[in-house]
Structure formats: structure tokens, C-alpha cells
Amino acid sequence: MSISSIKSMPLTWEWAAERTPTSRILVEVSQIRKEGGGLFGLKKSPSIIENVPDGHILTGVVVLGDHVGRSVSLRMPGFEIPDISEGDRVGLGLIGEGICICVVPLPAGLSDSQLEDWLGAFRCES
Amino acid sequence: MGLDGQVYDYAELKTKRKNYVDIETAVESGTITTVLVVNVTREQADKFKKYWMMTDKAPPTFNILGGNCSTRASDSFIYSGILSRKIPGLDTPDNLYEQLVDSKAQTTSYTGYVGFKKAASVGDSKAKYYIEYKPYTHTADVNTPNRNSKSSSS
């Protein structure tokens, strides 16, 4: 087991706001859970920089793109999570190493040979 | 609890707090916001903007008590001459809202789903924004601070 597969890669959510991803990875979803509010509900306060509304944690493992085999953990608004569940594969659009600007479900019926083309081109809606 | 402070402009809000500036996201996320529009003079507006430009360069430390977003907003109103004294009581958005509505300034309050759109600029004119607003009508008094005030509600 490599070091990269042990240490989880934390990703921070931002809305795309007309930006294009600088890289894209394909992730198999391990878990989606609602985030707790923390002490006195402070994590839910909009005054806290790290706050995301309706915070959820999406975890998974990279199966295609940079860092294959590495686990990822993304805090993001629940209402921005598409209709996906554990075991599904999704494309994550990234800015740099640590910012995720979209989660896009894998289109139905896509063959393995079409995966790389799709991964290199899917769009992040603003 | 001292945390790093941060100032977000419109572009940063669109990436980090979109539910406060985009009405569709506000509706989707159930984000109810109260916006108080305060009529001020050109000079007051310029000083208000200057305060936030300075604060953006060196944001003070955030403290939940006495150094929070209401505190900084209050500082900006005092700096620009719109208010003359600090927030009565604890530094909270509701207390600042009450103070502004009770001040001499003319105010208009909006509570509901709110967004802001950038208006098309003409020549060298400054960027202008307009409010998009959908009243929240599920219950009459949800998140409507100061609902008994004399401030008009559109």
C-alpha cells in the first residue's frame, strides 16, 4: 500500500462561478453523511469561514486521473450533491490541488473506453 | 476564540457563499436572508467603501464576542458617519438592524430569498448591483427582526 492511498486528500468546496476545472478526477463514492454542528453549533454559523450551508461529507477513492487509489474527503453543501449513492462513480472538477467546484455523476451507458474522454471534458455548471 | 478574519466581495461570495448572492441557490438551499437598504449620501457611501477596502487588506481577528461580523459592520457605519455609536447591547445582526432602523437614515427592509445581480456598466461608471427578491411567506414572522419597526418592508 502506497503512502498516497493511506492519507486522505481533503477537498474544499467552492461554487464554480464561471470557472473551468484545472483538473478532473473520477471518484468511487464510499460514503455521504451529514455533517454535525460542532460545539454550540458553531460549525453551522455563516460567520465561520469554513462553514458550508447544509454541510455534508462525501468520501471516496480516486479511480481515474491524478492520485489513483488515494481516498478523498469533500465537505460540500448537501443541496449541491447530485442524485448519487455509495458505490457510484462521479467526476470531481478541481481548481489546483484542494478546491472542488463540481460533482458530476458518470453518464449512464458510458463504456470504459469513453471514460477518459468524458473525464477530460465534463463541464462544471455555474 | 480568535480566528482569522476574512472579507468577501461579490466575486468571492459567488464562490464561497453563493446562497447569499444568487437567488436560485437561496431558494434551493432554503436560505432566508434579511437585507436592510440604507439611504446615505455620496460622501458616506465613499467612506463606507473605503473602510471595507482597508479591512479587506488586513482583516482583524474574528471573535464571536465583540469581534464578529456585526462588530465590523458597525465599525464601517461609524467610520462613514452613518451611525455615531457602537451597537447597543451585544454585537449581533439583530441589534445592529434595530439601531439602523431607529437611526435618522431612511431604510427599507427585505426578508426572504435574496440575490444580487451586477448591472451592465456604462463607460467608466462604478459597478452597480440590483436586488432580486422573493418574499418568504411560509409564516409571517420567520426571520424578520424588527418586524414591529417603522421601517418599510417591500
Is B1 inside any structural domain?
no
Is B59 inside any structural domain?
yes
Interface of A with B in 82-121 (CB under 8 A): 101
CB atoms within 10 A of CB A99: 16
The Cα of A50 is separated from the nearest Cα of chain B by a number of Å equal to: 9
Residue B69, C-alpha cell as written in the block: 461580523
Is B154 inside any structural domain?
yes
Domain boundaries, chain A: 3-119
pLDDT band at B150 (very low <50, low <70, confident <90, very high): very low
Name residues whose C-beta falls within 8 Å of residue A25's C-beta, 6 or more positions apart in sequence: A62, A64, A65, A66, A67, A72, A91, A92, A94, A119
Using CB atoms, which residue from A16, A49, A54 is nearest to B6?
A: A49
Give tens-digit pLDDT for B55-106. 999 999 888 888 899 999 999 999 999 999 999 999 999 999 999 999 999 9
pLDDT score of B153: 41
Contact (Cβ atoms closer than 8 angstroms) between residue A11 and residue A73: yes
Give yes or no: residues B88 and B48 share one domain: yes
Taking Cα atoms as reference points, which of B49, B43, B36 lies closest to residue B100? B36
Is B3 inside any structural domain?
no
* Contact list, B69 vs chain A (CB under 8 Å): 47
CB contact under 8 A, B4 and A49: yes
Its pTM stands at 0.85
Question: Any CB–CB contact under 8 A between A17 and chain B?
Answer: yes
Domain housing B66: 40-105
Q: Which CATH class is domain A3-119?
A: mainly beta
Taking Cα atoms as reference points, which of B110, B113, B104, B108 lies closest to residue B30? B113
Is B63 inside any structural domain?
yes
Q: Are strands A99-105 and B152-153 parallel, antiparallel or unpaired?
A: unpaired
* Contact list, B11 vs chain A (CB under 8 Å): 17
Question: Any CB–CB contact under 8 A between A79 and chain B?
Answer: yes
Is B147 inside any structural domain?
yes
The string of DSSP letters for A18-70 reads: T---SEEEEEEEEEEEEPP--GGGGGG-TTSTT--TTEEEEEEEEEESTTTT-
Contact (Cβ atoms closer than 8 angstroms) between residue B41 and residue B114: no
Give tens-digit pLDDT for B40-64. 999 999 999 999 999 999 999 888 8
Is B80 inside any structural domain?
yes
Length, in residues, of chain A: 126
Give yes or no: residues B86 and B49 share one domain: yes
Domain's final residue, options B88, B105, B122: B105
Q: What is the ipTM of this complex?
A: 0.85
Distance CA A38, CA A57 (A): 14
B89: left (phi over 0), alpha (psi -120 to 50) or beta: left
Give tens-digit pLDDT for A49-58. 778 889 999 9
Give tens-digit pLDDT for A5-27. 467 899 999 999 999 999 999 99
Distance CA A106, CA A29 (A): 12
CB contact under 8 A, B28 and A79: yes
Number of domains in chain B: 2
Distance CA B27, CA A45 (A): 19
Is B5 inside any structural domain?
no
pLDDT score of B149: 44
Percent of the residues in chain B that have a pLDDT greater than 90, as a whole number:
69
Give yes or no: residues B112 and B100 share one domain: no
pLDDT band at A75 (very low <50, low <70, confident <90, very high): very high
